C-alpha cells in the first residue's frame, strides 16, 4: 500500500529566468549574492537606453573638469609644473572628488524607491509570496540598482587613469580610489534601500536617504571646519582634539610633546592611544577624509598595519583605506539585515 502520510513540502529550486546568465541564478557559488530578481532587473535596466543616456549625461561634468585641468596643465610652463605640487595628484583628487559627489547624488535616488515604489504600486505582496527569501529580494534589488553606479565608476576609469600618465599617481592610488568609490556607492545604496523598506512613501525615503548621505559624507568635515573657525575667532586650542588627523597626515613628523612635555605624554599614554584609535575610526568612516589620509599614507610608504612611535608613545596604525573597507562592509551587511527585517514586518 502506498504511503499516504503527508510530508513537509520541500523548497524547490528556483528556475532560471530565460536569457539570464548562469552566474545570476541560484545554482552557482554566487547564488547567495545574486538571484533571478537581480538578473531580471539588471537585464531590464541594461536593455533600455535610459541607463546609458544617464551615464553619459553624468559623465559630462567629470569630463569637463578633467578637460579643464588637462588644458591648464598643457598650457603651463615646465618650470611652473615642476615647482608646484605634482599635477597628477591634483588632477586625480579633483576627478575623484567630482565622481564621489556624483555617486552620493545618485546612490539614494537609485535605491530609495525600490521597495516603497513596490508598495505604492501594490506589488510588494506579490513579490513577498515568491519563493525568494527576504534577503534574496533585498540583495537582488540592491545588485540591480548598483549596477548603474558601478557602470559609472568603470566608465570614469579612463579619465582617472590619465593621472597615471601625467605623473605623481601610481597604480596603488588608483586602485584605492576605485575601492573607496565602490564601497561608498554600496553603503549609501544600502542606506537608500533601508529607508525605502522602512518608510511607506518614496518621497519620505528619498528625503531621509539624502539627509543620511549628507551627514555621512559632509558631517565630519563640516565639524572640523567649524572647529577651525572657532579656533580663529575665539582662540580655542584644537591641537589636543585633532592631533590624530595630523598624525594620519604627517606620520612620524607628528609630535605630542607640545601638550605638556614627555612626562605628560607618558602619564596620559592610555588616553592618547584611545584618542588615536577613535580618531582613526572617525576618519575611516568618512570617504573624503579616508581618501585624503590614504593618499598621504601611500605617498609616505607607510605599512598597512603597524605600531608607530610618536615621541615615546607606541600607537597602533591601520591604513585608512583598509579600516574604511572594514567599516563600510560591516555597515552594508547590517543595513541589508535591517532591510530584510523591515520586509518581514511588512509581510506580517
- Residue 273 and residue 262: Cα distance in Å, rounded? 15
* The pLDDT of residue 26 is above 60: no
pLDDT in tens, 41-76: 777 777 767 677 777 777 888 888 888 877 877 776
| % of the chain with per-residue pLDDT over 90 | 22
Average pLDDT score, the chain: 79
Whole-Å CA distances, 31 to 22, 126, 147, 150: 9, 22, 17, 20
Residue carrying C-alpha cell 559627489 = 101
SS3 label, residue 34? coil
Which of residues 11 and 198 earns the better pLDDT score? 198
Mean pLDDT across 183-210: 92
> Which whole number is the average pLDDT over 25-42?
58
Q: What is the pLDDT of residue 346?
A: 55
Cell of 181: 568609490
Is the full-model pTM beyond 0.85?
no
Residue 316, H or E segment: strand 313-318
Instruction: Please state the rounded mean pLDDT for residues 212-224.
Output: 89
Residue 347, pLDDT score: 54
Nearest to residue 124, comparing CAs of 109, 110, 141? 141
Give the pLDDT confidence score for residue 18 in this predicted structure: 47
Q: What is the pLDDT of residue 92?
A: 87
Q: What is the mean pLDDT of residues 123-148?
A: 82
Between residues 29 and 163, the one the model is more confident about = 163
Model confidence at 229, pLDDT cuts 50, 70, 90, reads confident
**Mean pLDDT confidence for 154-174:** 84
Distance, CA of 233 to CA of 305 (rounded, Å): 38
Exposed, middle or buried by CB within 10 Å (0-12, 13-18, 19+), for 71? exposed
CA distance 178 to 241: 31
Of 327 and 118, more confident: 327
Query: What is the pLDDT confidence band of residue 113, given thresholds at 50, 70 and 90?
Result: confident
Confidence of residue 16 (pLDDT cuts 50, 70, 90): very low
Instruction: Look at residue 210 and tell me whether its pLDDT is greater than 90.
Output: yes
For residues 111-129, average pLDDT: 84
Q: Please list the residues that pair with 307 across neighbouring strands.
A: 316
Cα 261–Cα 263–Cα 268 angle in degrees, nearest 5:
100
Question: Please, what's the b/e burial string for 285-317 (b: 16 or more CB within 10 A of its CB; e: otherwise)?
Answer: bbbbbbbbbbbebbeeebeeeeebebeebebeb
* Stretch 286-308: mean pLDDT: 89
pLDDT at 7: 44
- The mean pLDDT of 272-296, rounded to a whole number, is 90
Residue 264 clears pLDDT 80, i.e. is over it:
no
Question: Which residues are paired to 309 by β-bridges?
Answer: 314
Q: Measured between alpha carbons, how far is 164 from 173 in angstroms, rounded to an integer? A: 9
**What is the DSSP-derived secondary structure letter of residue 10?**
P
Which range, 20-24, 112-116, 165-169, is most confident? 112-116
Amino acid at each position: 500500500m502506498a504511503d499516504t502520510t503527508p510530508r513537509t513540502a520541500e523548497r524547490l529550486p528556483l528556475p532560471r529566468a530565460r536569457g539570464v546568465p548562469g552566474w545570476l541564478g541560484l545554482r552557482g557559488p554566487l547564488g547567495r549574492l545574486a538571484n533571478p530578481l537581480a538578473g531580471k532587473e539588471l537585464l531590464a535596466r541594461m536593455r533600455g537606453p535610459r541607463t546609458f543616456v544617464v551615464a553619459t549625461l553624468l559623465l559630462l561634468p567629470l569630463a569637463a573638469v578633467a578637460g579643464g585641468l588637462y588644458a591648464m596643465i598643457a598650457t603651463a610652463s615646465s618650470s611652473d609644473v615642476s615647482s608646484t605640487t605634482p599635477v597628477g595628484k591634483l588632477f586625480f583628487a579633483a576627478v575623484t572628488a567630482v565622481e564621489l559627489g556624483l555617486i552620493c547624488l545618485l546612490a539614494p535616488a537609485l535605491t530609495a524607491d525600490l521597495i516603497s515604489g513596490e508598495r505604492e504600486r501594490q506589488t510588494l505582496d506579490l513579490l513577498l509570496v515568491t519563493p525568494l527569501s527576504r534577503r534574496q529580494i533585498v540583495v537582488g534589488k540592491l545588485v540591480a540598482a548598483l549596477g548603474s553606479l558601478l557602470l559609472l565608476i568603470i566608465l570614469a576609469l579612463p579619465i582617472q587613469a590619465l593621472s597615471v600618465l601625467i605623473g605623481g599617481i601610481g597604480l596603488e592610488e588608483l586602485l584605492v580610489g576605485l575601492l573607496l568609490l565602490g564601497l561608498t556607492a554600496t553603503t549609501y545604496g544600502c542606506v537608500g534601500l533601508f529607508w525605502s523598506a522602512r518608510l511607506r512613501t518614496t518621497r519620505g525615503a528619498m528625503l531621509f536617504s539624502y539627509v543620511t548621505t549628507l551627514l555621512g559624507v559632509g558631517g565630519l568635515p563640516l565639524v572640523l571646519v567649524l572647529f577651525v573657525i572657532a579656533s580663529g575667532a575665539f582662540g580655542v586650542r584644537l591641537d589636543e582634539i585633532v592631533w590624530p588627523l595630523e598624525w594620519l597626515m604627517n606620520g612620524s613628523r607628528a609630535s605630542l610633546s607640545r601638550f605638556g612635555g614627555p612626562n605628560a605624554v607618558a602619564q596620559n599614554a592610555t588616553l592618547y592611544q584611545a584618542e588615536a584609535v577613535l580618531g582613526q575610526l572617525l576618519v575611516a568612516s568618512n570617504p573624503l577624509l579616508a581618501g585624503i589620509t590614504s593618499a598621504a599614507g601611500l605617498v609616505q610608504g607607510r605599512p598597512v598595519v603597524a605600531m608607530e612611535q610618536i615621541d615615546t608613545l607606541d600607537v597602533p596604525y591601520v591604513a585608512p583605506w583598509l579600516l574604511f573597507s572594514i567599516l563600510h562592509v560591516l555597515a552594508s551587511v547590517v543595513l541589508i539585515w535591517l532591510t530584510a527585517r523591515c520586509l518581514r514586518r511588512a509581510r506580517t
